[in-house]
A = this chain, B = another copy of it.
Amino acid sequence: MGKRIVITGVPGVGKTTVVNGALEQLKGEGIEYRSLNFGTFMFEVAEAEGMVKDRDGMRKLDRDQQKRLQKAAAQKMAQIPGNVIIDTHCTVKTPKGFLAGLPEWVLRELQPDMVVLVETDEDQILSRRLNDPTRTRDMEGSREIAFHQEFNRSMAAAYAMVSGCTISVVKNQDHLLEQAVARMADVLR
């Protein structure tokens, strides 16, 4: 049985860069991970069941349908052998507020070994977002980013309580990417 590691971080924190760096390093040591995306798994289940035709349809599902899909996606992921990384959000920001990215019914199916929080100072995240020309969403201020990261930590505590998973924090600070990659590799090793 492999490891199941959930990796989370607010937009702009540089999660993908850190993970890819760590996976490359681990590959050289003979440690392999398969990368999964939680949203993609949910969509595939929904499509296979004829619930949606495209990804846009996912937003129109009601709460019970969403819950059933989340559970089914988690079950499917839990059956994949070998080490897996699951890319998702610790909390999901919606126009009305925050949702748990891994609610209880997902955690009970998925049984992750670890939830990683990739973090850095809110000002650094703000500046990375401002410098990203592909970003089109409404801008948050640094206080909102700070709140989102703090709320992610609180949520992670609840995940650890109910699932027994380890909560790891990987800092991805400006000019210290190598350090972030090394820490992520440590955590995944």
A166 to B116, CA, bound (A): 22
In the complex, how many angstroms separate the beta carbon of A12 from the nearest chain B beta carbon?
20
How big is chain A's contact interface, by range?
35 or more
A169 near B97 with CB under 8 A, answer yes
B157 near A100 with CB under 8 A, answer yes
B97 near A114 with CB under 8 A, answer yes
Chain A 127-167, CB-CB to B under 8 Å as 1, else 0, gives 00000000000000000000100110111111111111011
- Top-5 shortest CB links A-B: A97-B168, A154-B157, A158-B161, A154-B154, A155-B157
A-B contacts, 7 of them at CB < 8 A, read: A91-B160, A96-B186, A97-B187, A99-B166, A100-B164, A154-B156, A158-B160
List chain A positions with a Cβ less than 8 A from chain B.
63, 67, 91, 94-100, 102-105, 107, 113-114, 116, 147, 150-151, 153-164, 166-169, 186-187
